[in-house]
């Protein structure tokens, strides 16, 4: 079955620690890749996206993600997290031929001051 996997369900970090959240997908064709963030009590907001070109994409708030096609992965990174990064993070995949988005199960990030 086609799916998006986020292996880290709950991550707890201290401020200034580095972050890497894993995302793997199982679609064989061309895909578009996204990371969304959901702050407590809020709606999903786009952090960054990859369509084509440079596999290392930079998003808002110091986040970046790297698309590794051979590994079907699109991991999210941030070199130094802040307390305000505490949120739920969702990876999503949009198959090139359709408008359906497939979301991962989400990773809850808690940053301790």
Partner 1 sequence: DTAVSQTPKYLVTQMGNDKSIKCEQNLGHDTMYWYKQDSKKFLKIMFSYNNKELIINETVPNRFSPKSPDKAHLNLHINSLELGDSAVYFCASSPTGERGEQYFGPGTRLTVT
CB 44 within 8 Å of CB 28:
no
Binding site for partner 1 (CB under 8 A): 32, 34, 36, 38, 42-46, 49, 51, 88, 90, 92, 94, 96, 99-101, 103, 105-106, 108
Rounded to a whole number of angstroms, the minimum distance from the CB of residue 80 to partner 1 is 25
φ, ψ of residue 82 to 5 degrees: the values are -120, 160
Q: In whole angstroms, what is the distance from residue 104 CA to residue 62 CA?
A: 22
Buried b / exposed e over 5-17, threshold 16 CB at 10 Å, is ebebeebebeeee
Q: Which is nearer to partner 1, 8 or 32 (CB)?
A: 32
Rounded to a whole number of angstroms, the minimum distance from the CB of residue 44 to partner 1 is 4
Q: Which is nearer to partner 1, 70 or 99 (CB)?
A: 99
Q: Which is nearer to partner 1, 19 or 93 (CB)?
A: 93
Rounded to a whole number of angstroms, the minimum distance from the CB of residue 99 to partner 1 is 5
Q: In this structure, how many other beta carbons lie within 10 angstroms of the beta carbon of residue 85?
A: 20
Q: Which is nearer to partner 1, 18 or 105 (CB)?
A: 105
Both tokens assigned to 73: 């992965």
């Amino acid at each position: 079955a086609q799916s998006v996997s986020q292996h880290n369900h709950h991550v707890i970090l201290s401020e200034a620690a580095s972050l890497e959240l894993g995302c793997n997908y199982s679609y064989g064709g061309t895909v578009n890749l996204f990371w969304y963030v959901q702050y407590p009590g809020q709606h999903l907001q786009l952090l960054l996206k990859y369509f084509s070109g440079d596999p290392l994409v930079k998003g808002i708030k110091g986040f970046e993600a790297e698309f590794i096609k051979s590994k079907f992965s699109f991991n999210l990174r941030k070199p130094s997290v802040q307390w305000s990064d505490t949120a739920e993070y969702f990876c999503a995949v949009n198959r090139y031929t359709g408008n359906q988005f497939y979301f991962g199960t989400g990773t809850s990030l808690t940053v301790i001051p």
